[in-house]
Structure 1
Amino acid sequence: MNKIAELEIHHPDGRCETHELDLPLYTLGRGQHNSFRLIGDTAISLVHLSLKRIRTEYRDFYRIIDGKLDMRFLSQNGVYLNRCRIQYSADLRHNDEIRIGSNSWMIYRDDFERESREDDTMDLEDS
């Protein structure tokens, strides 16, 4: 499967890691069963947020959802997108900053499809 986006996660303990995103759904929180687990910050809920892949005719992207996918259980301390608290969900864009808990944050990047299409167009024009 092609990488649709990536998530750069800055953990409470200062570690930073980058994950490729290509699956239909990811969860993030303190709980053991999350796709990405953040420990060491009690302000982060067991399932703090979900990332759901959205497919359109023109592009694929991820939607961020506060808490679990069904939105019945919102995170206790909220999800902040570019310093504004989201209400339930928001569509992510390239270089969006996501903040949760006391000191955890992420950068979402999704320009990979755009770059590959531009490369394909350039190849066709050069022929």
Structure 2
Amino acid sequence: MTMPGYRTYSPPAPPRRSTLARSSQVLGIVGLAGLAVCFAGMIPALVGLVLGTVALVRRAPDRRPALVGVVCSAIALLIGSGTLFWLLSKAAQCGDAARYPDDVSRRNCVEREFPFAQATP
């Protein structure tokens, strides 16, 4: 029971946090780091982009992590898809039968364009 004119103390509520926003942030950062591992970061980046967009559309109370997740995921997807497009276009040039008619010339093209790819016996 309280005295008239006095209020009881109640601690402030903890700040609301959005799980979708935090997940998007983590997946976006993992997506950026995962690009170094043979484009493995593109899948978490895609999921992070979707989760961050959903969190922003729902107007989550914690918008900053959702925005960071969307930006990191978008950057990871742009870098990954651009690099993948570039590598595939180089591989398509080496596979062109009009430019490289025999197998030896195609193999030389692959070795010249992709020096980091080592042939295994």
Instruction: Flag whether TM exceeds 0.5 (same fold).
Output: no
Flag the structure with higher helix content: 2
Question: With structure 1 as the length reference, what TM-score do the two structures score?
Answer: 0.29
Question: With structure 2 as the length reference, what TM-score do the two structures score?
Answer: 0.30
State which structure, 1 or 2, has the greater radius of gyration over its C-alpha atoms: 2
